[in-house]
Chain A
Amino acid sequence: MKNIFLIPFILLGFAASAQKDSTSGQFSFGMRSTISTFTDAQSVGLGSGGEFRIRITKHMNTEWYGDYINTNIQNLGYRHDGHIGWSVLFYLDKEPLSVGKVTPYILAGQCFDYTDVHADYKNVNMQRWSAAAAQGGFGITYNITSRFDFSALTQYMMHLGTNVETQVEHIDLGAPPIEGPAYLSVTKKSGASLDGHLLITFSVNYRLGKL
């Protein structure tokens, strides 16, 4: 797991060695909105954040981002997620980021993840920090002008360390099949699993210049 932290430095090495590429070092800044799905009891969360991109080569870019996501879990509790992370974007087009053209890309990366879950029933609160979250997915970028783009991205983020999981359950009235009132059960689970969330992100980015 520690090796994952070396990746940004390896990428910077790539960037340094790719100086002949005229697109290398392009720096963009953007804002993003994220929709989080499949996290808790079919509830959908919404987040806001910012990002910047440092391009390595013509076909490879890096994205560094921060997000704050809020999810109302069936009116039984809430989940707040904070993400700070990075991804490597690989453009699948021959001439990527051309004006007026859609450029598809795939991406993979890692992030630091803070989760705070509250259940109304018995007033339960659970938080955890984790450096072990990885994400991968695909997206498209549409360059409206040579410096300005709109991007849409779908990625799955897996929590590889301790995870806070929620489940809607019903109070046992002792008279099946009648179900009692619903409540949110919150548990902390450790160990690697593929549990996570599907994130759909929309962003606008402006290329400020070259580093």
Chain B
Amino acid sequence: MMRNFILTIAIFLSGFSYSNAQNDSGFVHKGILAGVGTIGVGEMLWNSTSNVYITGNLEYYAQKNVSVRGDAYFFVNSLTQNSQLKQNSSIYFGAFYHFPTHSGFDPLIGFQPGIAFAKTTDSAYGKADPGAAAPLFSVVTGFNFFGDKWFHIQVNVRYAVGQESTEQSQFRLNEWSFNFGLGWNIDLLSKK
């Protein structure tokens, strides 16, 4: 179900970008400030746990092909019944490389170290897991599609690696996550 959904979106967007790539109107440039807020889904293969997040990011194009971006994931809930995970909100900050194109299509790849606040249902020594900050390593790929002066579509696939370690719990946070949403963008360096 999920796989079909992702595939449909990918085919739709690739066709969309192809049709727009016919005119040579490269949109991406230095000075764009872009933001997105949307819902993300995550799959923890190690623990067979699916999660839902409210996620958002803010990105600034420091150069035509380089941007700095901060992401936040607010843990809503696990979709898996009897999930061990009670909390897994995280923040990331890093840089992205944008492959040059001649359209509003903006494929990207990025590296974002992050930190999660994770908590499980585990308990030991007469105490429940209080939760802990866990460092995260993550790589992101995806694309933006700037179809309008003010708005764009963003698709992200992220793989994050990390582990929560407390006296009560050792929980692997490795997760594939996907989000798709509509974002806004403004040009901070526009002289018009």
**A172 on the B face (CB < 8 A):** no
The main secondary structure of chain A at its interface with chain B is strand
**B66 on the A face (CB < 8 A):** yes
A189-205 CB contacts (< 8 Å) to partner B: 202, 204
Contacts between chains A and B (CB distance < 8 A), count:
77
**B148 on the A face (CB < 8 A):** no
Question: What would be 19 A-B contacts, judged by CB atoms less than 8 Å apart?
Answer: A46-B136, A48-B115, A50-B93, A70-B134, A70-B163, A70-B165, A72-B170, A78-B165, A78-B170, A118-B165, A118-B167, A120-B124, A120-B167, A123-B125, A144-B97, A147-B62, A147-B66, A148-B66, A206-B95
Contacts of A78 in B (CB 8 A): 165-166, 170
A4-49 CB contacts (< 8 Å) to partner B: 30-33, 46-49
A32 to B138, CA, bound (A): 11
Contacts of A75 in B (CB 8 A): 170
Could you tell me which B residues sit within 8 Å of A by CB distance?
62-63, 65-66, 68, 93-95, 97, 111-115, 124-125, 133-137, 161-163, 165-167, 170
A207 to B97, CA, bound (A): 15
CB contact under 8 A between A49 and B63, given known A69-B135, A70-B165, A72-B165? no
Contacts of B63 in A (CB 8 A): 145, 147-148
Is B165 in contact with A204, judged by CB distance below 8 angstroms?
no
Taking CB as reference atom, which chain A residue is nearest B62? A206
A48 touches which of B113, B165, B170 (Cβ 8 Å) = B113
CB distance from B134 to the nearest CB of A (A): 6
A113 to B137, CA, bound (A): 21
CB distance from A149 to the nearest CB of B (A): 9
Could you tell me which A residues sit within 8 Å of B by CB distance?
30-33, 46-50, 68-72, 75, 78, 80, 118, 120, 123, 125, 144-145, 147-148, 150, 202, 204, 206
B161 touches which of A46, A147, A150 (Cβ 8 Å) = A46
CB distance from A116 to the nearest CB of B (A): 10
B135 touches which of A30, A47, A72 (Cβ 8 Å) = A47
A125 to B68, CA, bound (A): 39
CB contact under 8 A between A204 and B94, given known A68-B115, A144-B66, A148-B63? yes
Contacts of B97 in A (CB 8 A): 144, 148
